[in-house]
Chains A and B, each alone.
Chain A
Amino acid sequence: MSMKDFSDSPFFRDPGPREQGDGHREPELNCAMNRREFAIGTGALTGAAAFKGPLHHFGPPAAAEETGAGTESKLVLALKINGENRRLHIDPRMTLLDLLREELGLTGTKKGCDHGQCGACTVLANGRRINSCLSFALVHEGEDITTVEGLARGDELHPMQVAFLEHDGFQCGYCTSGQICSAVALLQEHDRGDASFVTSDLNKAGAVELTPDEIRERMSGNICRCGAYPGIVAAVQMIREQKLGSKR
């Protein structure tokens, strides 16, 4: 894709400094949009005015005043990201992944296939791992989103991040943030007793033994082209054993 093509993307942002974003009150949250996309979006909203009924209708928000001209096609979204409340004006077409990366600068979450086939975009929504590329951001109104940036506490890495480092759970690193978010959720799912397709007895009391086969199946939504799978399995096992140890 040439630079010219890229500049035509609805998510293109002028590379100028954000704090000088045309006098917007929340400049870092401003969604860049070119004229063509803006015109199309505005037309679509006009059509929506025909709908009636007890619905939350997301017409041109009063909040548009906050961000000045050029926001008529955007809707208001309030959610919590990595512990911080955010209020944004976004195009309905924006996925959660693009919101994180293009609007909020949280580029730890990666865009791999953009079609739910690789898991690089995995984040936690209300604690559940999801593909952020296949989910429109507006669907997550009021939710609590955790990305890889939200796992560490200051300079102290999340134990799963430490385990990936110790066990070489990556090579190029592109899939790693998705792998780590996925692995964190895996252990929570396992703790509450979730089964997988390779679990032999669905009704046996107690937690399923987290064998390498179980870990591989439960991590199968995250593809690693470098083939760092043995290290990833070892990292998950290490944290699992640490947890078991702390319970003894």
Chain B
Amino acid sequence: MNPFTYERSAEIESAVTVIARSHSAKFLAGGTNLVDLMKNGVEKPDCLVDINRLALSKIEWLPDGGLRLGALARNADTANHPLVRKNYPLLSRAILSGASPQLRNLATNGGNLLQRTRCPYFMDAGSPQCNKRVPGSGCGALEGFHRTHAIFGANDKCVATHPSDMCVALAALDAMIRVRGPQGERAIPIAEFHRLPGDTPEIDTNLRKDELILSIDLPQSPYAEHSCYLKVRDRASYEFALISAAVALDMRGQTIHNARIALGGVSHKPWRCPEAETILLQQEVSASMFERAAATALAHAQPLKQNAFKVELARRAIVHALNNAGGLA
């Protein structure tokens, strides 16, 4: 592992100041992704700023009825917080489906947002081609193994997927990411937080280099009664999603007043399906409506040679999750 200097930050302001002074400095929170990547020689920060002591661990109501999840609240504590379990069960279930209890005890909410979009070619520093790891080197997965890779928003530069479950639920719940930089605070909608690869697959998010995530703010949710997080994977637990579907319905009687559908394991970022959501508006709950919505969600999928199965898998996952959330399963 490359050597680095270690700083322990006591205040938000000083953490932001220190991070701006070194080109490759990184914040260290739970470390479950960063330490792994440093061991692989994929990440080589020259300085780590340990932010675990910053006062960003609270989970509390916002005046507008939303809920604020501190960036340093651990994933395990967030998923099991009574307010999250009661008002945002979709988020609890998504978090609990990811990684393992040990990893969720270390991993923070901010760190979950910032885990790298990745694939085996990215993780292996000995693999010659990866535009995300070495810009301009090509994509090893494109003509290599890509069974688990993206079916939406990818290009010949990068076909990796974002591995988070939490972020798929956040996408469905329209979370806002509150950040602090040298110029002050700003809020980034979750839909704009992560990026598609474009010409710069080495950049995963729109967070600036010198910005620190303060919290994830959830708007007041009408979805607590009717939501489902379905995760399909190669083994029963402790595995990334081949496909995951986060769906939430705001129902008035049997009529769908509002709908949210997001997919995981399909793109460089959590993938919202707005056209499919629109189809469900003001409709009565029915299996045929859910089939139509799912077909619409997958209409523009662009699979690779080895992952065409993901299109059908995702379609069925959405149908299954909608049936479950809508009380038909």
Footprint of B on A, CB under 8 Å? 40-41, 43-45, 47-48, 50-51, 53-58, 73, 75, 92-93, 95, 114-116, 119, 122, 128-131, 134-136, 138-139, 141, 182, 185-186, 189, 193-197, 199, 202-203, 216-218, 220-223
Contact check: which of A50, A73, A135 meets B106 at CB < 8 Å? A135
Contact partners of B46 in chain A: CB under 8 A: 44, 47
Q: Is B281 interfacial (CB-CB < 8 Å)? A: no
Contact partners of A135 in chain B: CB under 8 A: 31, 35, 106
Nearest-CB residue, chain B, relative to A221: B100
Contact partners of B258 in chain A: CB under 8 A: none
Contact partners of B14 in chain A: CB under 8 A: 53-55
Cβ B17 vs Cβ A195 within 8 A? no
Nearest-CB residue, chain B, relative to A126: B105
Q: A131-B102, A221-B101 are in contact. Are A195 and B5 (CB under 8 A)?
A: no
Q: A115-B39, A202-B85 are in contact. Are A129 and B31 (CB under 8 A)?
A: no
Contact partners of A51 in chain B: CB under 8 A: 5, 7, 18, 21-22, 47
Contact partners of B105 in chain A: CB under 8 A: 128-130
Main secondary structure of the interface of B (DSSP, over half): mixed
Contact partners of B80 in chain A: CB under 8 A: 193-195
Contact partners of B238 in chain A: CB under 8 A: 220-221, 223
Q: How far is the CB of B17 from chain A (nearest CB, A)?
A: 5
Number of A-B residue pairs, CB cutoff 8 Å, is 141
Q: A47-B46, A195-B96, A196-B96 are in contact. Are A203 and B85 (CB under 8 A)?
A: yes
Contact partners of B7 in chain A: CB under 8 A: 48, 51, 55-58
Contact partners of A93 in chain B: CB under 8 A: 1, 3-4
Complex Cα gap A75–B50 (Å): 14
Cβ A139 vs Cβ B39 within 8 A? no
Contact partners of B76 in chain A: CB under 8 A: 128, 194
Q: Is B60 interfacial (CB-CB < 8 Å)? A: no
Complex Cα gap A223–B236 (Å): 13
Which has the most chain A C-beta neighbours within 10 Å: B4, B52, B105? B105
Complex Cα gap A63–B100 (Å): 38
Contact partners of A50 in chain B: CB under 8 A: 21
Cβ A136 vs Cβ B101 within 8 A? no
8 contacts between A and B (CB under 8 A): A92-B6, A93-B1, A93-B4, A130-B102, A130-B106, A131-B106, A138-B6, A202-B85
Cβ A48 vs Cβ B5 within 8 A? yes
Q: Which chain B residues numbered 61 to 91 have a C-beta less than 8 Å away from chain A?
A: 76, 79-80, 85-86, 89
Cβ B52 vs Cβ A139 within 8 A? yes
Contact partners of A186 in chain B: CB under 8 A: 101
Contact check: which of B3, B89, B237 meets A44 at CB < 8 Å? B3
| A-B CB proximity, top 3 nearest | A221-B100, A48-B5, A220-B237
Complex Cα gap A237–B11 (Å): 45
Complex Cα gap A182–B155 (Å): 42
Footprint of A on B, CB under 8 Å? 1, 3-11, 14, 17-18, 21-22, 28, 31-32, 35-36, 39, 46-48, 50, 52, 76, 79-80, 85-86, 89, 92-93, 96-97, 99-103, 105-106, 236-238
Contact partners of A119 in chain B: CB under 8 A: 100, 102
Contact partners of B17 in chain A: CB under 8 A: 53
Nearest-CB residue, chain B, relative to A49: B5
Cβ A136 vs Cβ B28 within 8 A? yes
Contact partners of B8 in chain A: CB under 8 A: 55-56, 58, 138, 141
Cβ A197 vs Cβ B237 within 8 A? yes
Nearest-CB residue, chain A, relative to B18: A51
Contact partners of B39 in chain A: CB under 8 A: 114-115
Contact partners of B85 in chain A: CB under 8 A: 195, 202-203
Cβ A45 vs Cβ B36 within 8 A? no
Nearest-CB residue, chain B, relative to A189: B101
Cβ B50 vs Cβ A44 within 8 A? no
Q: How far is the CB of B262 from chain A (nearest CB, A)?
A: 18
Contact check: which of B11, B28, B48, B89 meets A202 at CB < 8 Å? B89
Contact partners of B89 in chain A: CB under 8 A: 202-203
Cβ A139 vs Cβ B11 within 8 A? no
Cβ A54 vs Cβ B10 within 8 A? yes
Contact partners of A197 in chain B: CB under 8 A: 93, 96-97, 237
Complex Cα gap A173–B189 (Å): 48
Contact partners of B102 in chain A: CB under 8 A: 116, 119, 122, 129-131, 182, 221
Nearest-CB residue, chain A, relative to B49: A55
Contact partners of A116 in chain B: CB under 8 A: 32, 36, 102-103
Q: Besides A54-B14, A134-B35, A193-B80, 9 other CB < 8 A contacts?
A: A43-B3, A51-B21, A51-B47, A55-B9, A58-B6, A92-B5, A93-B4, A134-B106, A195-B85
Q: How far is the CB of B180 from chain A (nearest CB, A)?
A: 15
Contact partners of A41 in chain B: CB under 8 A: 3
Contact partners of A220 in chain B: CB under 8 A: 100-101, 236-238
Q: How far is the CB of A116 from chain B (nearest CB, A)?
A: 6
Q: How far is the CB of B88 from chain A (nearest CB, A)?
A: 10
Contact partners of A199 in chain B: CB under 8 A: 96
Q: How far is the CB of A141 from chain B (nearest CB, A)?
A: 7
